[in-house]
Amino acid sequence: MTPEEILTISFTDRLELPEDAVAYLIDLWNLIQVLDDAADGDSSDRSAVDRAIWTALAGMPMNAFYERHRAWLVPAMAQATLKWMASDAAERAGQADARSYMWRAGYYDVVCLVVGLVHGPSSQRSWDALALYGESLAEYMKEFDHA
């Protein structure tokens, strides 16, 4: 099963999100993956790039969930971007650590916010959302030969 399929099932079944919220989160996930590959100098297949372009310029702005909650989502996406940039800077400087590991997972902050927008505040639902992050600290540190 692909990460996208796992996330889709988790968002739908575990987090009980509506279809437009799931579509928004999956589009954001795919956009992030393509941009991260580009930043790392990795290649993405053409269909993934085309999908990312569509998502950024048309798909996301037309998503009903995004339209309703734009005032919340844009700052959350900005914060996730800044956290990713900080993590990337630490990694490139050879200073990856537990803090940069946390910063790297900013996407899941957006997921947690979406869950809160749909279901209201809940510590259990927040935990469920944030627990979807699949990379452990040990796995992360192995990438940088710190383990």
Any domain includes 127: yes
In a domain, 105, yes or no: yes
pLDDT at 147: 46
Task: Record the pTM.
Answer: 0.92
pLDDT-above-90 percentage for the chain: 84
Distance of CA 52 to the CA centre of its chain: 14
User: Which tens digit of pLDDT belongs to each residue from 28-68?
Assistant: 999 999 998 898 888 889 999 999 999 999 999 999 999 99
Q: What is the crossing angle of helices 19-40 and 64-92, to 10°?
A: 30
3-class DSSP state of 94? coil
Q: What pLDDT score was predicted for residue 146?
A: 52
Report pLDDT for 39.
Answer: 85
**pLDDT for 81 beyond 70:** yes
CB 97 within 8 A of CB 90: yes
Q: Is residue 24 part of a domain?
A: yes
Residue 143 has pLDDT above 90, yes or no: no
Within a domain: 147:
no
Quick one: pLDDT at residue 14? 96
Q: Residue 48's domain spans which residues?
A: 3-142
How far, in whole angstroms, is CA 25 from its chain's centroid?
A: 7
Report how many domains make up the chain.
1
Token pair in block for residue 131:
């627990």
